[in-house]
């Protein structure tokens, strides 16, 4: 049985990856310190003999007994308001945490895949974004703590590959959504769906002309799975190229949820990227991968998930009025 360590296991993507690798017949070790994750996301695995949970902060030295075949490093705050709230931890998990996991991969002779992001392109001047674009990031802006941690993460990963011969993979993940996102994490999909469910107006930031391209979680997990098993060590974009403006997206959510609320406009957060769309030519070519779930289908599944949450979860919106990003 192949053994895989997945960091960020109690988070949105990490928990889906645990499920996928268990399904593929792996023994999965999930590691998390719950800083933005939720034990509920992996509760269904608690009695599964193929799953073991390790409560650990990856920025601290990692002792792991026994052998390992693969590591997926997904631990990191991922929503803009999370990383504004915990900027130092965000920098540490991308730098010190990644260093620890690369060291572990080297010691165990394991292949490691790290979760990078479309944020390394910053507010992109090239559209759609191809892997050879270097990006446009404000190092000292509010998003800099995340973007630069992820850029450093890519650099140190390539250095371990080049200088230590570690087998590395780098996925640049574009906005991904689905069940198990935290309703109060401030990202646009849980934000709009939570507002619709609570009977609040939908808050569009800026004039809503900025664009995003949303990828359903099952497609993302499939891309990551294929990349891990490929022999490609340079970064690969995984995302859904179907682009939409946030203003049009709010209208879509109003139709889907049947809410009678309206859209209201708030200030645009500092350095909010104005457009984002992955060029997935490379993923198609080397992984034979492309997304299969269209937005209407994925959003419906996601809304059904949010509808199933308890009243407590629905109203526990610690970030509701968070305006730290506003100038």
Q: Are 77 and 146 in contact (CB under 8 A)?
A: yes
Query: Which partner in ligand NAD, ligand UDP, none is near 278 (CB below 5 to 8 A by kind)?
Result: none
Residue 196 CA to chain centroid, in angstroms?
Answer: 23
DSSP assignment of 74-140 equals --S--SHHHHHHSHHHHHHIIIIIHHHHHHHHHHHT-EEEEEEEGGGGBS-SSSSBPTT---B--TT
Contacting ligand UDP (CB under 6 A), which of 64, 133, 205, 232? 205
Q: Which position among 26, 121, 146, 177 bears the catalytic label?
A: 146
Smallest separation (angstroms) from ligand NAD to the CB of 10:
4
Q: Which of these segments, 8-16, 131-139, 155-163, 190-198, binds ligand NAD (CB under 6 A)?
A: 8-16
Query: Which partner in ligand UDP, ligand NAD, none is near 122 (CB below 5 to 8 A by kind)?
Result: none
Instruction: Give residue for tokens 């995003």.
Output: 212
Measuring CA to CA, which residue among 137, 181, 145 is closest to residue 11? Answer: 181
Residue 203 CA to chain centroid, in angstroms?
Answer: 22
186 is a site residue for ligand NAD (CB under 6 A): no
Query: Which partner in ligand UDP, ligand NAD, none is near 134 (CB below 5 to 8 A by kind)?
Result: none
Strands (E), the chain: 3-7, 27-32, 51-55, 70-73, 111-117, 168-173, 176-177, 202-205, 211-213, 215-216, 236-238, 243-245, 263-266
Q: Which of residues 239-268 bind ligand UDP (CB under 6 A)?
A: 246
201 is a site residue for ligand UDP (CB under 6 A): no
Query: Which partner in ligand NAD, ligand UDP, none is near 77 (CB below 5 to 8 A by kind)?
Result: ligand NAD
Contacting ligand UDP (CB under 6 A), which of 16, 85, 161, 212? 212
Q: At what angle do helices 188-198 and 295-307 cross, to 10 degrees?
A: 50
Which are the catalytic amino acids?
A: 146
Interacting residues toward ligand NAD by CB under 6 A: 7-8, 10-14, 32-37, 57-59, 74-78, 93, 97, 115, 117, 173, 175-176
Interacting residues toward ligand UDP by CB under 6 A: 79-80, 175, 187-188, 191, 203-205, 210, 212, 246, 269, 272
């Amino acid at each position: 049985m192949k053994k895989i360590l997945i960091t960020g296991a109690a988070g949105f993507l990490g928990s889906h990856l645990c499920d996928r690798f268990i399904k593929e017949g792996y023994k999965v070790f999930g590691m998390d310190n719950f800083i933005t994750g939720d034990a509920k996301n992996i509760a269904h695995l608690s009695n599964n003999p193929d799953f073991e949970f390790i409560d650990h902060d990856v920025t601290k030295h990692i002792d792991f007994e026994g052998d390992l075949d693969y590591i997926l490093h997904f631990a990191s705050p991922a929503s803009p308001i999370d990383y504004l709230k915990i900027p130092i931890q965000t920098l540490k998990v991308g730098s010190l945490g990644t260093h620890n996991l690369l060291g572990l991969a080297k010691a165990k002779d394991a292949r490691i895949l790290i979760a990078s992001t479309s944020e390394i392109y910053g507010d992109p001047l090239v559209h759609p974004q191809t892997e050879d674009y270097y990006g446009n990031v404000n190092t000292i802006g509010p998003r800099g703590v995340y973007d630069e941690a992820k850029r450093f993460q890519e650099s140190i990963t390539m250095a371990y590959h080049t200088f230590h011969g570690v087998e590395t993979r780098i996925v640049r993940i574009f906005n991904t959504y689905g069940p198990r996102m935290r309703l109060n994490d401030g990202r646009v999909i849980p934000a709009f769906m939570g507002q619709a469910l609570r009977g609040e107006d939908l808050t569009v930031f800026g004039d809503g002309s900025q664009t995003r391209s949303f990828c359903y979680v099952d497609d993302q997990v499939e891309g990551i799975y294929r990349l891990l098993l490929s022999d490609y060590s340079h970064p690969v974009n995984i995302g859904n190229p179907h682009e939409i403006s946030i203003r049009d997206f709010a209208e879509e959510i109003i139709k889907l949820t049947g809410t009678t609320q309206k859209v209201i406009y708030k200030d645009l957060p500092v350095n909010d990227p104005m457009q984002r769309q992955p060029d997935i030519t490379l993923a198609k070519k080397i992984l034979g991968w492309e997304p299969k779930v269209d937005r209407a289908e994925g959003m419906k599944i996601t809304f059904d998930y949010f509808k199933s949450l308890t009243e407590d979860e629905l109203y526990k919106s610690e970030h509701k009025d968070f305006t730290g990003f506003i100038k």
